[in-house]
Amino acid sequence: MVNEFASRGITVHGAVRSETDVEELRAKYGAPHRFLAADVTDPEQLEGFARDAFESGGVDIVVANAGVINERAPVWEIPGPTWRRALDVNLLGVVNTIKAFLPGMIAARKGLFIGMSSGWGRSASAGLGPYCAGKFAVEGLMGSLALDLADKQSPVAAVALDPGGGVNTDMLVSCLPESHEQFRSPDVWAKGAVDYIVDRLFLDAKSGSLEIPESAHAPYE
């Protein structure tokens, strides 16, 4: 998605956990794009990242997309630390991002906040209890956020966004080892996804539980 946003002349502020990744991204993209080290499970780091973004020119679109997935196992066999990690990243990471960015967006009276959801946040899958629980919770969280914004008569939009079908990421490989190759690569998916986010969700100020439609994508290669 960074490639696609940047190719459209949109300045990207990105947060990654590793300083090595920060340096690689800075070398690849250069100014005016900015990349900082910040972990979504650390509220103070997220607040610093958000502050830098606002001070560097404002924020129009926030995509809260950090996520982890568990190895498939029955709910009762999954260790407690696995549950805590999944919920810390997949749910509370979105909460921390909301708390860091929404006050500035509300003050500016503009913007789109996206919490990345999943088909497994709307229809459960065996063996993925922590992931499904977190993504189902993101759906409820974003729905509540949208109502809060409407109650305050804020024009900021809030969307729980299902990527639309599977995307052949490392996470998908880990849970669908025999069928992941049938899905789009991240680079192919991102082309249609960014068009949909910018041209439909942002410009139309849409809120709600939405899915990137098949029509947003070019045919499979």
Cis upstream peptide for 32 (omega within 30°): yes
Out of 29, 131, 196, 220, which one is annotated catalytic? 131
Q: What is the DSSP letter of 166?
A: -
Residue from 4, 59, 125 nearest 49 by CA: 59
Is 220 a residue of the active site?
no
* 8 A C-beta contact, residue 160 and residue 142: yes
Strand pairing category for 112-116 and 208-211: unpaired
* 8 A C-beta contact, residue 117 and residue 82: no
| 112-116 β-sheet, strand order | 61-64, 112-116, 157-162, 208-211
Strand pairing category for 34-37 and 13-16: parallel
Residue 183 is which amino acid? F
Q: 129-151 and 80-90 are packed helices; what angle lies between their axes, rounded to 10 degrees?
A: 30
CA distances from 173 to 82, 166, 169, 182 (A): 18, 10, 6, 11
> Which residues are marked as active site?
131
